């Protein structure tokens, strides 16, 4: 029995992450209503949702691919393109907007030669915006590689970015 | 676990308390200012001073004054330190025994603190959100235990109705009436859903409550489950709130282990499970029908109401949907009684409300006040006023709300008064603006937000928000005419009246309210003025 389950989960690529994804799907008891949880799990494993992953999920939850794709593209947090090695998220919520988030966005965009939502040509940095990270008390805020920074200035942000790009793996 | 055991555990926990305590805020605001390192240094400071027997170091929830984080407070002395650096931790520890603290001593008796109330935030900043024993020692889960052993569901609903509590998500629907509707619905399966999809930009009350006192929300949900006859609850939480999600997960696990959730809650016949559903970044999912679609794994698009969720909600079963803050109010109301709760607030808006005060104001952070408190007291006395220049407007209710001009600052903050001014209470975001903020630009900011977040299901919202954003941009680029201004106004009315859900129906509010109070700013931008 176990062997047949294994044979079913094996992905032609041999990528072990698909096995972990299958475990995550099993933990949700293959419930179709857990699609969003499964997509979260997949994005955590793979970093983004490539088409192959969406096929895999559709197959295992017995859902049409159109539905899986429809849900994955509806929600902003799901990313269908590979992200850069480092990410910089500028909060553009109201409190940050009032305190000049547009200047941060401009500075980061200019520093990386990248438009908001895009990734630098060398794949080093993704520049993203968030609708509000809920840290309004310390606005304006930026999230660099997962760490929230408050009361950020344009100069401070550029320094942060310079630091993380130099330190990061080459 | 049953009621005597619960009381026993609370008593034991209180007896074991050390005489002195140092509390360090570990909610998201202070954490991003580096409070984790401060907490670590406080712990090792107590160790190296050999004070483990007398001094407890506690990581606690939000202490409200986010702009001065990381915050550290001593108890029982109540000294509050601002912007604490890890290097200052040892001196704060030594100050407990009469030494001098080498840290910025703040004023815990300033109006920011003394003018506030503490109902929803009573435990916030006092208990460790990751220890259920702390919550139990603060009388936690006693309301649930008493309800299960002493009260009928109808009596619980009656208490909530008499308390006058209204939905804290923004619309202000009477909570007791909603509960009674779900309780009346006939079905084998019912659900309780907590809306923690706090999408309004500029609002972080629900995040703070979940990070600071998650058990109060769980207890409130369980009481609701008993009252309406549901055995399954869901918390739908924003994907942008990882810390709140993690604390909630911990809390659910701890409560399950003590049999305060799950099968046979507190040895009764009542079963109640709570699961978390994590959102994925869609503002529209704060709307109740879209939220339910998202819980069921669908695209978060709303559907027409009726049928309301109370009749047909999750998987077509009767579903009770309330906001985080609404649930957080429940245990206290049960413990202290409906009359006590109804003694706070105004004739139609009872109790307290938590606001997130941000923008151009000296003290930014969380504010809890009785409803009916004048806006001026919140912004000028508690908030300390605008740091540079003059107050121009206060925005409430996020993208569904409006801007209240400085001359109307004496308005009491309650559901009806704000509605009359063309704004709404909303979930509690309050953003202060000064002379540097152009109101047409503010209107465009919110409109482009709604444009991005429109789910695209109905045309008035999908196309209307695009056209409104274009018109506002044209005005801002000084290419607009009087005709454009007229089109803007009529289009606003159309989008408001014809959209399917709350997102579209309220999207024009920021434009309409700024047109009402700051029309001259629009007119100054016209080509043919």
pLDDT band of residue A1 (cuts 50, 70, 90) is very low
Kindly report the number of other CB atoms within 10 A of residue B152's CB atom.
Answer: 11
Sort out which chain B residues have CB atoms less than 8 A from A147's CB and list them: 32
Say what the pLDDT of residue A167 is: 52
Per DSSP bridges, beta strands B391-396 and B402-405 are antiparallel
* CA nearest to B454 within chain A: A74
Six token digits for residue B329:
């109010």
Sort out which chain B residues have CB atoms less than 8 A from A97's CB and list them: 201, 445
Say what the pLDDT of residue A131 is: 84
Q: Which of B297, B278, B283 is nearest to A68 (CA)?
A: B297
Beta strands in chain A (DSSP E): 86-91, 125-130, 142-144, 147-149
Six token digits for residue B517:
């109070």
Select from B207, B297, B398 the Cβ nearest to the Cβ of A34: B297
pTM of the model as a whole: 0.95
**Cβ A137–B365 below 8 Å, yes or no?**
yes
User: CB of B141 within 8 A of CB of B335?
Assistant: no
The sheet carrying B365-370 orders its strands as B365-370, B352-359, B429-434, B391-396, B402-405
User: CA-to-CA distance for B282 and B98, rounded, in angstroms?
Assistant: 52
Say what the pLDDT of residue A10 is: 60
CA distance A139 to chain B (A): 8
* B42 φ/ψ angles, rounded to the nearest 5 degrees: -65, -40
Q: Which residues contact B108 (CB under 8 A, 6 or more apart)?
A: B73, B78, B79, B80
Select from A31, A77, A139 the Cβ nearest to the Cβ of B239: A77
pLDDT in tens, A96-124: 998 999 999 999 999 999 999 899 999 99
Helix then strand then coil, % of chain B, to nearest 5: 45, 15, 35
CB pairs under 8 A between A and B: 141
- As a whole number of angstroms, the longest Cα–Cα distance in chain A is 60
Helix (H) or strand (E) holding B175: helix B175-184
pLDDT at A5 over 50: no
Kindly report the number of other CB atoms within 10 A of residue B3's CB atom.
Answer: 18
User: CB of B333 within 8 A of CB of B342?
Assistant: no
Sort out which chain A residues have CB atoms less than 8 A from B432's CB and list them: 98
**Cβ B300–A74 below 8 Å, yes or no?**
yes
- Whole-complex ipTM: 0.91
Q: Which of B441, B285, B365 is nearest to B30 (CA)?
A: B365
Sort out which chain B residues have CB atoms less than 8 A from A94's CB and list them: 200-202, 358-359, 395, 398, 429, 431, 445-446
Taking the Cβ of residue A78 and every Cβ of chain B, the question of whether any pair is shorter than 8 Å is answered with: yes
Locus of tokens 């044209």: B474
User: CA-to-CA distance for A117 and A132, rounded, in angstroms?
Assistant: 16
Q: Which of A142, A145, A135 is nearest to A157 (CA)?
A: A142
DSSP bridge partners of A106: none
Beta strands in B339-423 (DSSP E): 352-359, 365-370, 391-396, 402-405
Say what the pLDDT of residue A9 is: 52
Q: Which of A140, A98, A137 is nearest to B66 (CA)?
A: A137
Select from B240, B358, B364 the Cβ nearest to the Cβ of A133: B240
Most A CBs within 10 A among B209, B211, B295, B297, hence the mutation to make, goes to B297
User: CB of A58 within 8 A of CB of A68?
Assistant: yes
Locus of tokens 């700013």: B521
For chain B, residues with pLDDT lower than 70 are: none
Say what the pLDDT of residue A8 is: 52
Q: Calculate the CA B330 to chain-centre distance.
A: 14
First-to-last C-alpha distance (Å) of chain A = 45
CA distances from A109 to A63, A105, B124, B135 (A): 39, 6, 39, 46
Say what the pLDDT of residue A4 is: 43
CA distances from B376 to B215, B313, B380, B399, B418 (A): 33, 40, 5, 22, 13
């Amino acid at each position: 029995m176990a062997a047949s389950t294994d044979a079913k989960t094996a992905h032609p690529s041999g990528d072990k992450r698909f096995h972990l994804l299958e475990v995550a799907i099993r933990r949700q008891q293959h419930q179709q209503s857990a699609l969003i949880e499964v997509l979260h799990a997949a994005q955590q494993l793979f970093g983004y949702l490539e088409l192959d992953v969406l096929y895999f999920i559709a197959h295992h939850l017995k859902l049409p691919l159109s539905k899986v794709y429809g849900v994955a593209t509806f929600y902003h947090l799901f990313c269908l393109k590979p992200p850069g090695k480092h990410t910089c998220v500028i909060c553009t919520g109201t409190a940050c907007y009032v305190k000049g988030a547009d200047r941060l966005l401009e500075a980061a965009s200019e520093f990386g030669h990248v438009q908001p939502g895009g990734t630098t040509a060398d794949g080093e940095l993704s520049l993203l915006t968030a609708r509000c990270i809920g840290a309004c008390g310390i606005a304006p805020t930026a999230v660099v590689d997962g760490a929230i920074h408050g009361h950020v200035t344009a100069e401070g942000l550029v320094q942060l970015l310079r630091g993380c790009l130099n330190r990061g793996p080459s | 676990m049953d009621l005597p055991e619960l009381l026993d555990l609370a008593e034991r926990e209180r007896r074991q308390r050390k005489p002195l305590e140092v509390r360090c805020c570990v909610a998201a605001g202070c954490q991003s200012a580096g409070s984790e390192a401060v907490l670590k240094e406080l712990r090792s400071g107590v160790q190296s001073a050999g004070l483990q027997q007398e001094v407890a170091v506690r990581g606690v929830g939000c202490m409200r004054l986010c702009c001065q984080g990381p915050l550290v407070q001593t108890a029982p002395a109540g000294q509050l330190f601002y912007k604490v650096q890890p290097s200052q931790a040892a001196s704060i520890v030594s100050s407990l025994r009469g030494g001098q603290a080498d840290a910025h001593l703040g004023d815990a008796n300033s109006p920011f603190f003394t003018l506030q109330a503490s109902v929803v935030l009573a435990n916030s900043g006092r208990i460790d959100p990751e220890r259920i024993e702390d919550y139990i020692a603060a009388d936690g889960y006693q309301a649930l235990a008493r309800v299960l052993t002493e009260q009928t569901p109808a009596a619980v609903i009656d208490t909530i109705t008499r308390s006058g509590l209204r939905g804290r998500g923004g619309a202000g629907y009477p909570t007791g009436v909603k509960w009674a509707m779900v309780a009346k619905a006939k079905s084998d399966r019912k659900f309780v859903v907590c809306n923690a999809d706090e999408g309004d930009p500029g609002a972080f009350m629900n995040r703070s409550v979940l990070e600071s006192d998650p058990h109060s929300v769980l207890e409130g949900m369980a009481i609701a489950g008993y009252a309406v006859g549901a055995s399954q609850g869901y918390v739908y939480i924003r994907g942008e709130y990882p810390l709140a999600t993690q604390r909630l997960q911990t809390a659910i696990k701890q409560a399950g282990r003590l049999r305060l959730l799950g099968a046979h809650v507190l040895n009764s016949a009542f079963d109640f499970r709570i699961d978390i559903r994590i959102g994925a970044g869609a503002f529209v999912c704060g709307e109740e029908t879209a939220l339910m679609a998202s819980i069921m794994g669908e695209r978060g698009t709303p559907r027409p109401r009726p049928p309301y969720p109370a009749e047909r909600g999750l998987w077509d079963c009767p579903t009770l949907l309330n906001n985080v803050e609404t649930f957080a109010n429940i245990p206290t109301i049960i413990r202290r009684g409906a009359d006590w709760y109804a003694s706070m607030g105004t004739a139609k808006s009872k109790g307290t409300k938590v606001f997130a005060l941000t923008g151009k104001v000296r003290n930014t952070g969380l504010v809890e006040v009785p409803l009916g408190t004048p806006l001026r007291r919140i912004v000028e006395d508690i908030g300390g006023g605008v740091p540079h220049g003059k107050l121009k407007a206060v925005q409430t209710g996020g993208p569904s709300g409006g801007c209240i001009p400085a001359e109307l600052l004496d308005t009491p903050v309650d559901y009806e008064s704000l509605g009359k001014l063309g704004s709404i209470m909303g979930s509690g975001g309050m953003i202060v603006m000064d002379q540097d903020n152009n109101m047409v630009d503010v209107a465009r900011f919110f409109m482009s937000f709604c444009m991005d977040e429109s789910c695209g299901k109905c045309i008035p919202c999908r196309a209307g928000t695009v056209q409104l954003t274009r018109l506002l941009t044209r005005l801002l680029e000084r290419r607009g005419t009087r005709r454009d201004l007229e089109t803007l106004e009529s289009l606003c009315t159309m989008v408001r009246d014809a959209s399917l859900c709350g997102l579209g129906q309220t999207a024009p509010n920021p434009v309409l309210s700024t047109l009402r109070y700051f029309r001259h700013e629009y007119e100054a931008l016209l080509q043919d003025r």
